[in-house]
Structure 1
Amino acid sequence: MARFLPATLTGRLIVTIIALVAFVGVGASVLTAMTMRSHLTDRLDSQLHESLDRSTRELDLLPGGPRPPSSGPLPVAVGQGTGTLTAVFHGSTQRGDVIGDGEQNALSTDVLDTLADLPTDDRVRTVDLGELGSYRVLAVRDADGVTIVGGLPTDEVTETIQNLMLWEIVLTLAGVLFAAEIGRILVRRQLRPLRDVAATAHEVASMPLSSGAVAHTPRVRSDLTDPATEVGRVGDALNVMLDHVESSLEARHESEQQVRQFVADASHELRTPLSTIAGYTELVHRSGEDPDVVRQALAKIETESSRMSALVNDLLLLARLDSGRPLEQATVDLTQIVLEAVTDRQVVDPERRWSIQVPDDAVEISGDADRLHQAVTNLLINASRHTPEGTSVTTALRSTSVGVTVSVRDDGPGLDAALVPHVFDRFTRGDTSRTRASGGAGLGTSLVKAIVEAHDGQVAVRSRPGDTVFTLTFPA
């Protein structure tokens, strides 16, 4: 069935409208014709009863009562119309006439035989009388056993119904054609907003979204996003979907850029120790067996190897955290971790003033002790590298009903305002010259963020000259 319907929604709606109009038109026509036929037939039956009454009274005037005359036509009552049929049956005698156009004709034997078989139950019937056509007839019998039959032709009723049906067919066809044209105009006008929505979707589909930065995608006009209408709901849903698509594409492009930058930065960071190792290896080959040169070269190679190993380990940890690999989950005494980390920094970096604020009771959370120790240590190392000697660094641990916070505050010069939004990005360094005098590879704070988020926590930074605070928040 579906293959016979138009493919477009416009065509299907027009076909539906035509079918409904045709169904209503045909139904109304059939009902009207049936009602009209019933009305005309009832009127014809009333006329038949009146005609039979007139014929019966006329025959009663004959000598001896209503019996067929021996010869000649039956008497015709006043008021009988053309086509009126009268027949009388008594014993073996049967006579009948039909009024023609200005004359009275005797009924044939076949017609009389048909009429003679009619039951006398005072019910009007429709019978086919051969050459005379269809008649509505009524047969009655008196007390003497005389049967009188009256009949009127149904030609007028049939012709009226046929003319009515013809006009109904013409009007129904005209109504269907009119409905088809008006329906086409109205449907196309009502579906114009839907075509505009589809045009917006096609415009977006034609945009080069597979690669590169994503330009602003078009949106459905605001007048086509009214949620009170079907088309408006479609337009609003398309706009919401386009918002999601655009944000996803932007996130994908940003991720691609980050990957490219990550690869470039990692390559740059690894190239320096590799170049150093290669240079000192060549120096060993050229120096022959000079023990001092060999010892200095091996020491430098060992230093750069350790530096490269640390960088590779940091990159591997970041990759594992990015892939969602779960960390160890155990009850960790965060107070002990903070105390150990600060104590280690006091030994390694005595040039700064280190202080600690922890509650009297142990603060415990669920997590990976080694990774949490690494996160706190990275923040303390970050404070050592980017503040001058004599800077005060305070590490505070606080526990509340909603979570646990670890904050590292220093009174150094603070971060550059442009650096604050990117301080937790990978390979972000305050010194863009990439010299090691100002710090490491720029992975410390990014590792802190990755480790904290792996523990379902959050990181934050606030900085101004003389007051820089890094805060780690863990769920209770």
Structure 2
Amino acid sequence: MQVLRRPWTLRTRLVVSAVSLIAVVAAVIGSVTAIAFHSYMYGKLDDQLHSVVERARRPPGPLPLPETLREAGPLGFVGGGGQPLGTFGALVDGDGDVTASKVVEDSGLRAQESAKPLTGEQRAALEKAAPGAGDGTRSVDLPGLGGYRVEATTTAEGDTVLVGIPSAEVSGALTTLIVVEVCVTAAGLIAALIAGTVLVGVALRPLRRVAATATRVSELPLHSGEVALLERVPDAEADPRTEVGQVGAALNRMLGHVGSALAARQESETRVRQFVADASHELRTPLASIRGYAELTRRAGGGAPGPSARSAGPEPDPVTRHALGRIESEADRMTGLVEDLLLLARLDAGRPLSYGTTDLLPLVVDAVSDARVADGTGADGSGTGSARHHWRLELPEAAEPVTVRADPDRLQQVLVNLLANARTHTPPGTTVTVSVEPPVRAGGPVTLEVRDDGPGIPAELLPHVFERFARGDASRARDADGGGATGSTGLGLAIVQAVVSAHGGRVRVESAPGRTVFAVDLQADVVPADGVPAGHDVIRADSQVGDRLTTPV
């Protein structure tokens, strides 16, 4: 499995790039300095070696040689002035073997007397690596003595002599230089890293403020409602003469355009909502007149039941009776649509609801009972004798009420709309289950679920089910008997979401073939042990108070 590497921030990239560049420059300067120092120091050492070699080749002063030097032989130069401690001279025969040697271990007049010969191991190392006469200078390591610069020469008597002076001092100085360079470079890189982090952080502070402004804007609920887009990048970070300022100025211009678009959208939505509210309000009176005149016509024609039908006049023919029934039915449907639009307009305007401590269980029992009755009743009001769907209740076993802070009428409408949605958009034989779950922990929400085992909601419609006028069936036709899949106004679930949001709750939906769940979460209202919240009355439905624990319907 490929592991995704976490991307570096701009601050990290800038600091690492700067420190890397400094490290490369420091490495180049250090290398050049070490090479130059190496060449210079070994050049001075070789010059000192050449002077000793000249002294070994041709002793100073006029001939004949003094008796002391003649007795010392070809190695009489060892211990002379200007030679560092550890200088050695070695006499080599024609086969390259060292026959005599001296190593200076003291200075002054006792240099010759205190000189000691090379050990066998040292002679073997010298014989193996020593240069020949005329081969120039070579570095040789002698066990126990360290590194040497060695050169071979031929004396005036024809003897081959090896002369070597120690290079430990030069090597130590070069090593010290390299260690100092490494330490200084490391300290400089650490200082550059700290300073670079601080300076880059200060330099990027305006960019962070621009990003913070963009983040605050991204958290605003711009998709709906009235939005006051007042967030702007400060003028100090919107100077077009800097790169960050150019970004800030561009963001401010974009926010200005977005704010203008949001204001235009809000103004348009306000006009539309006001029109809907006004039109809905104005439609209530003519709809009431239509229903009233239809009922009056039915009664005048003898279509009304009761004793008055016999004295009102002749009974209307079946066509007229059916037409009057359809007029009343469609007037009722139109009235319901108008009431839904008025409710949405009120909720959009933020009008307060009539909140109270409401026992949720009686509302659920009543709503499911009403839904079962409606499921077995045709459009003309005639009962079919049995419900087309299977209705189930799952309520808590405990006898305590499940209370929420809510408007009971609006909450009843939420239940009615959810159950009507399940009844309308599922085939006969579908099982619809309503459950109430008390809070699982203190302060948790009460969850109301309406689920069915129907065919489910199409995937392309699922994200839009709570939008206004969103309908799963594009047809606007209604079955004459009220059964089967029917058209709808598309406002039922929109009202559910609006009412639940007005209560500070949340509604969600999950759907798959064979299982669709609408879940409503509402904040629980804490009820003391006596069952009556302090300062509140528990609002219960009157018809089902004694049936709180009833699960079959």
Short-chain TM bin: 0.5 to 0.7
Query: Is the aligned partner of 1:37 residue 2:38?
Result: yes
Match of 2:99 among 94, 118, 123: 94
Query: Is the aligned partner of 1:25 residue 2:26?
Result: yes
Identify the residue that residue 56 of structure 1 maps to in structure 2.
Answer: 57
Q: CA-to-partner distance for each residue in 1:39-95, whole Å, 9 max, x for gaps?
A: 2112212222222111111299798xxx99788963435433322222222336722
Alignment of 1:37-436 (within 5 A): 37-58=38-59, 74-76=76-78, 77-91=80-94, 94-102=99-107, 103=111, 104-117=115-128, 118-120=130-132, 121-141=134-154, 146-268=159-281, 270-271=283-284, 273-288=286-301
Does the CA-based 8 Å contact 1:226-1:236 persist in structure 2? yes
Q: What amino acid is the match of 2:105?
A: G
Relative distance call for 1:213 and 1:5 in structure 2 (3 A) is: closer
User: For 1:247 and 1:272, how far apart are their aligned partners in 2?
Assistant: 39
User: For 1:68 and 1:171, how far apart are their aligned partners in 2?
Assistant: 55
Does the CA-based 8 Å contact 2:89-2:102 persist in structure 1? yes
Structure 1: which 5+ runs fail to align? 313-476
Does the CA-based 8 Å contact 1:74-1:97 persist in structure 2? no
Tell me the TM-score normalised to structure 2 length: 0.46
Displacement after TM superposition at 1:129 (Å): 0.9
Relative distance call for 1:122 and 1:264 in structure 2 (3 A) is: same
Displacement after TM superposition at 1:38 (Å): 1.8
User: For 1:87 and 1:5, how far apart are their aligned partners in 2?
Assistant: 67
User: For 1:124 and 1:248, how far apart are their aligned partners in 2?
Assistant: 87
User: For 2:4 and 2:36, how far apart are their aligned partners in 1?
Assistant: 39
User: For 1:10 and 1:100, how far apart are their aligned partners in 2?
Assistant: 61
Q: What amino acid is the match of 1:97?
A: K
- Greater CA drift, 17-26 or 148-157: 17-26
User: For 2:5 and 2:297, how far apart are their aligned partners in 1?
Assistant: 88
Does the CA-based 8 Å contact 2:140-2:147 persist in structure 1? yes
Relative distance call for 1:70 and 1:194 in structure 2 (3 A) is: closer
Displacement after TM superposition at 1:114 (Å): 3.4
Displacement after TM superposition at 1:286 (Å): 3.9
Identify the residue that residue 456 of structure 1 maps to in structure 2.
Answer: none
Relative distance call for 1:286 and 1:113 in structure 2 (3 A) is: closer
Relative distance call for 1:206 and 1:70 in structure 2 (3 A) is: closer
Relative distance call for 1:206 and 1:4 in structure 2 (3 A) is: closer
Aligned length: 296
User: For 1:20 and 1:216, how far apart are their aligned partners in 2?
Assistant: 44
Displacement after TM superposition at 1:155 (Å): 0.9
Q: Alignment partner of 1:134: what SS?
A: strand
User: For 1:68 and 1:247, how far apart are their aligned partners in 2?
Assistant: 112
Does the CA-based 8 Å contact 1:5-1:12 persist in structure 2? no
Relative distance call for 1:273 and 1:62 in structure 2 (3 A) is: farther
Relative distance call for 1:101 and 1:87 in structure 2 (3 A) is: same
Q: Alignment partner of 1:151: what SS?
A: strand
Displacement after TM superposition at 1:131 (Å): 1.2
Does the CA-based 8 Å contact 1:87-1:94 persist in structure 2? yes
Does the CA-based 8 Å contact 2:56-2:75 persist in structure 1? no
- Greater CA drift, 70-79 or 252-261: 70-79
Q: What amino acid is the match of 1:57?
A: R
Relative distance call for 1:95 and 1:68 in structure 2 (3 A) is: farther
Does the CA-based 8 Å contact 1:68-1:94 persist in structure 2? no
User: For 1:4 and 1:33, how far apart are their aligned partners in 2?
Assistant: 39
Relative distance call for 1:71 and 1:108 in structure 2 (3 A) is: farther
User: For 2:7 and 2:31, how far apart are their aligned partners in 1?
Assistant: 29
Relative distance call for 1:45 and 1:70 in structure 2 (3 A) is: closer
Displacement after TM superposition at 1:133 (Å): 0.8
User: For 1:167 and 1:213, how far apart are their aligned partners in 2?
Assistant: 68
Q: Alignment partner of 1:257: what SS?
A: helix
Q: CA-to-partner distance for each residue in 1:390-441, whole Å, 9 max, x for gaps?
A: xxxxxxxxxxxxxxxxxxxxxxxxxxxxxxxxxxxxxxxxxxxxxxxxxxxx
Relative distance call for 1:100 and 1:62 in structure 2 (3 A) is: farther
Whose helix fraction is larger, Structure 1's or Structure 2's?
1
Displacement after TM superposition at 1:6 (Å): 9.3
User: For 2:262 and 2:25, how far apart are their aligned partners in 1?
Assistant: 53
Does the CA-based 8 Å contact 1:88-1:149 persist in structure 2? yes
Displacement after TM superposition at 1:268 (Å): 4.8
User: For 1:234 and 1:78, how far apart are their aligned partners in 2?
Assistant: 77
Does the CA-based 8 Å contact 1:74-1:96 persist in structure 2? no
User: For 2:45 and 2:38, how far apart are their aligned partners in 1?
Assistant: 10
Relative distance call for 1:107 and 1:4 in structure 2 (3 A) is: farther
Relative distance call for 1:59 and 1:110 in structure 2 (3 A) is: farther
Does the CA-based 8 Å contact 2:102-2:116 persist in structure 1? yes
Does the CA-based 8 Å contact 2:57-2:156 persist in structure 1? no
Q: Alignment partner of 2:116: what SS?
A: strand
Structure 2: which 5+ runs fail to align? 303-311, 335-553
Displacement after TM superposition at 1:161 (Å): 1.2
User: For 2:278 and 2:175, how far apart are their aligned partners in 1?
Assistant: 94
Relative distance call for 1:280 and 1:170 in structure 2 (3 A) is: same
Does the CA-based 8 Å contact 2:90-2:163 persist in structure 1? yes
The alignment's C-alpha RMSD in Å is 4.1
